Amino acid sequence: MRDPVTPLSSANLVEIDNVSFGYDRRTVLSGLSMNFARGKVTAIMGGSGCGKTTIMRLIGGQLRPNSGEVRVDGQVVNRLKRDELYALRRKMGMLFQFGALFTDMNVYDNVAFQMQEHTGLSEDLIRDLVLLKLNAVGLRGAKSLMPSELSGGMARRIALARTIALDPMLIMYDEPFAGLDPISLGVAAQLIRRLNDALGATSIVVTHNVRESLPIVDHVYFVSAGSIVAEGAPGPMEHSEIPFVRQFVHGEADGPVPFHYAAAPYAQDLGLEARVG
Amino acid sequence: MDNRRKRTLPNQVRRIGFPVVNGIWRMGYAARFLILTLAYSGVSFRRFRLTVREMFFTGVLSLVIILVSGLFVGMVLGLQGYDTLQRYGSADALGVLVSLSLVRELGPVVAGLLFASRAGSAITAEIGLMKATEQLSAMEMMAVNPIARVIAPRFWAGVFSMPLLAALFSAMGILGGFLVGVVLIGVDDGAFWSQMQAAVDWRQDVLNGVIKSFVFGIAVTLIAVFEGYDADPTAEGVSGATTRTVVTASLAILGLDFILTAFMFRGVG
């Protein structure tokens, strides 16, 4: 049931409102606000360690912000009780970076897991649904393999089938393209788009893979050091003159994101100063 | 810059204090973890299939090492026991010596130590790897509580398996003692069994042994699941946790054994 306070017509499924988050002394996100429109595929792009994955964990309620609000379908995630959070999570799917398939179960049982845990469906019906999901990712024939027998790309697709097992309204992808070969890359990108449209879901893709993700998304956020640098439709972003975006999209080594990690002057580290002085 | 801490008094105190505080903190955390495990144990019994599956991995797969070790420990007891007893002309009491040593002490303790290194380490490594590969996180995101679905069935499987394994260890040990004492050396068959039957008390010896092995089962499995769940999600983290499980669980067994024995056999001759 929806929260009666929130209008049904709210265009955004997920809203991040002025959220700050940090571990102990290290600040990861500061005053971040983002909106994810219903039915759209939105990408969050940024370098490694910029807080992208943290954003997804905040949406999924695995982390709680120090301040601000995260709303999913009108519910404030960070104020939900455990049971309410679990109820909300049944409507979410998250694809983890390396699939996170349960290694002690075969492919079939992995995909059937949520159906068996949460629905009272008969085994026959679950079997049909599992085969349907596996067929959607093109791996119906792999149903009795163990995760250790799958290639990286196959594991990712099985994990995708598991993610959509209960037809979630929100699908989150954590680096879905990391470590895939070129064919798997294209397949994964197309699957994300097609599944989103077929399920009428909303998707969030956290990635640093520009070439694969820009063609399939509706909106992009560029994040650096825990705050938004730029946002917009993918077309204009590709030709953006904002230095960070340009460096990121074109993969330039140096720019606003420096090549060198902060260090003392080179000469000093080499001990040259003393000799010269 | 000199990074080494100077040996001043406050630093010395800190060096002792930190591990102590840390240890107490971890014990509190483990206690809280045990309470959570018990609170979410419903699934382990409602869907007993889950627990039975884990009993196969912890119990059945430990059988070989338990049975073989039991047999050899019993055979050695037979040899050593006979050697000592025959000096006093009481070789007929060999059955008593073998069975009491096994049922009271060696069964629960040695089976517990073997269980800690065979099953305990496997449980820690498995749960630690599940954590490192985000499987526990994924389960949480699927609105399934990992403590109810992963931890509790493994915990109960260990608790149920341990007394059974200890009993089998003792049984094999007695068989080993019989083989060496009666079949090999020639102690009187009837005396071996009848003296054993007369001397071993059901409540005082057998039941207390079962209670011991049950307590060891709780300790070992709790340490194993806790270390796995608490492991750093890296290769070093998981290997460190596995080592800690074997060391901590073994020490816990020996410590608990002394305490339990002191309470159980007070005033028993």
Q: What CATH number corresponds to the domain at position A59?
A: 3.40.50.300
Of A196, A218, A203, A200, residue with least CA distance to A170: A203
Does residue A169 lie in a domain region? yes
Count of domains observed in chain A: 1
Q: Tell me the C-alpha distance between A235 and A215, whole Å.
A: 8
On average, the pLDDT of chain B sits at 92
pLDDT winner (highest mean) among A74-78, A176-180, A257-261: A74-78
Does residue A155 lie in a domain region? no
Q: Which pLDDT value is given to residue B5?
A: 58
Tokens of A78: 């960070």
Does residue B1 lie in a domain region? no
Q: Tell me the C-alpha distance between B178 and A256, whole Å.
A: 81
Does residue B78 lie in a domain region? yes
Q: Tell me the C-alpha distance between B176 and B72, whole Å.
A: 6
Q: What is the pLDDT of residues B96-142, one digit of tens each?
A: 999 999 999 999 999 999 999 999 999 999 999 999 999 999 999 99
Does residue B42 lie in a domain region? yes
Q: At CB < 8 A and 24+ separation, what contacts does B261-266 make?
A: B261/B104, B261/B105, B264/B208, B264/B211, B264/B212, B265/B104, B265/B204, B265/B208
Best of A80, A90, A102 to disrupt the B interface (most B CBs within 10 Å) is: A102
Does residue B220 lie in a domain region? yes
| Closest Cα in chain A, distance from residue B145 (Å) | 9
Work out the burial of residue A4: count CB atoms within 10 Å of its CB; fewer than 13 is exposed, 13-18 middle, 19 or more buried.
exposed
Best of A90, A94, A95 to disrupt the B interface (most B CBs within 10 Å) is: A94
Domain that holds residue A170: 12-104+160-240
Q: Tell me the C-alpha distance between A129 and A131, whole Å.
A: 5
Q: Tell me the C-alpha distance between B250 and B37, whole Å.
A: 22
Apex B185 CA angle, B95 and B107, nearest 5 = 35
Q: Tell me the C-alpha distance between A253 and A57, whole Å.
A: 29
Q: What is the pLDDT of residues B190-223, one digit of tens each?
A: 999 999 999 999 888 999 999 999 999 999 999 9
Q: Which pLDDT value is given to residue A22?
A: 87
Cβ distance of A89 and B142 shorter than 8 Å: yes
pLDDT of B3 > 70? The answer is no
According to DSSP H, which parts of chain B are helical?
A: 9-39, 42-46, 48-58, 63-85, 94-100, 107-115, 121-132, 135-141, 146, 152-178, 189-199, 208-230, 235-264
Under the banding of pLDDT at 50, 70 and 90, the label for residue A1 is very low
Of A97, A102, A117, nearest to B135 by CB-CB distance is A102
Under the banding of pLDDT at 50, 70 and 90, the label for residue B268 is low
Does residue B4 lie in a domain region? no
Q: Tell me the C-alpha distance between A90 and A203, whole Å.
A: 15
pLDDT of B258 > 90? The answer is yes
Tokens of A251: 């993969």
DSSP string covering A170-185: EEEEESTTTT--HHHH
Does residue A193 lie in a domain region? yes
Q: Tell me the C-alpha distance between A250 and B74, whole Å.
A: 73
Neighbours of B175 (CB within 10 A): 16
Of B126, B143, B149, nearest to A90 by CB-CB distance is B143
CB-based burial, B3-33: b 16+ in 10 Å, e otherwise: eeeeeeeeeeeeeeeeeeeeeeeeeeebeeb
Neighbours of B97 (CB within 10 A): 23
Chain B residues whose CB is inside 8 A of the A103 CB are 129-130, 133, 135
Tokens of B206: 């057998």
What is the pLDDT averaged over residues A56-71?
A: 91
pLDDT of A6 > 50? The answer is no
Q: Which pLDDT value is given to residue A275?
A: 58
| Closest Cα in chain A, distance from residue B116 (Å) | 21
Does residue B231 lie in a domain region? yes
| Closest Cα in chain A, distance from residue B234 (Å) | 15
Give the end-to-end CA distance of chain A in Å, rounded to a whole number.
Answer: 74
Q: Which pLDDT value is given to residue A274?
A: 61
Q: Which pLDDT value is given to residue B220?
A: 96
Q: Tell me the C-alpha distance between A232 and A218, whole Å.
A: 9
Q: What is the pLDDT of residues B144-186, one digit of tens each?
A: 999 999 999 999 999 999 999 999 999 999 999 999 999 999 9
Of A97, A100, A114, nearest to B135 by CB-CB distance is A100
Domain that holds residue B130: 11-264
Tokens of B23: 């240890």
For residues A94 and A60, the answer to whether their CB atoms sit within 8 Å is yes
> What is the identity of the amino acid at B95?
G
pLDDT of A84 > 70? The answer is yes
Top-confidence residue, B40 or A237 = B40
Query: How many residue contacts between A and B have a Cβ separation below 8 Å?
Result: 49
Under the banding of pLDDT at 50, 70 and 90, the label for residue B4 is low
Q: Tell me the C-alpha distance between A201 and A169, whole Å.
A: 5
For residues A83 and A146, the answer to whether their CB atoms sit within 8 Å is no
Q: Tell me the C-alpha distance between A91 and A168, whole Å.
A: 5
User: Which residues does residue A222 pair with via DSSP β-bridges, in sequence order?
Assistant: A45, A230
Does residue B3 lie in a domain region? no
pLDDT of A130 > 90? The answer is yes
pLDDT of A183 > 50? The answer is yes
Q: Does B142 touch chain A (CB under 8 A)?
A: yes
For residues B82 and B185, the answer to whether their CB atoms sit within 8 Å is yes
What does pTM read for this prediction?
0.85
Cβ distance of B133 and A98 shorter than 8 Å: yes
Q: Does B134 touch chain A (CB under 8 A)?
A: yes
**Whole-number percent of chain B with pLDDT over 90:** 83
Does residue A250 lie in a domain region? no
Q: What is the pLDDT of residues A220-274, one digit of tens each?
A: 998 888 888 888 888 888 888 788 888 888 777 777 766 777 788 888 888 886 6
**Whole-number percent of chain B with pLDDT over 70:** 96
The gap from C-alpha B170 to its chain's centroid, in whole angstroms, comes to 14
Q: Which pLDDT value is given to residue A182?
A: 83
User: Which residues does residue A58 pair with via DSSP β-bridges, in sequence order?
Assistant: none
Helix, coil or strand: residue A200: coil
pLDDT winner (highest mean) among A12-16, A78-82, A157-161, B126-130: B126-130
Q: What is the pLDDT of residues B54-63, one digit of tens each?
A: 999 999 999 9
For residues B190 and B181, the answer to whether their CB atoms sit within 8 Å is no
Q: Which pLDDT value is given to residue A2?
A: 43
- Which of A133-147, A252-266, B220-234 is least confident? A252-266
Q: Are strands A12-23 and A26-37 parallel, antiparallel or unpaired?
A: antiparallel
Count of domains observed in chain B: 1
Of B199, B205, B206, B188, residue with least CA distance to B82: B188
Neighbours of A175 (CB within 10 A): 20
pLDDT of A106 > 90? The answer is yes
Does residue B6 lie in a domain region? no
* Helix and strand totals (H; E) in chain A: 11, 10
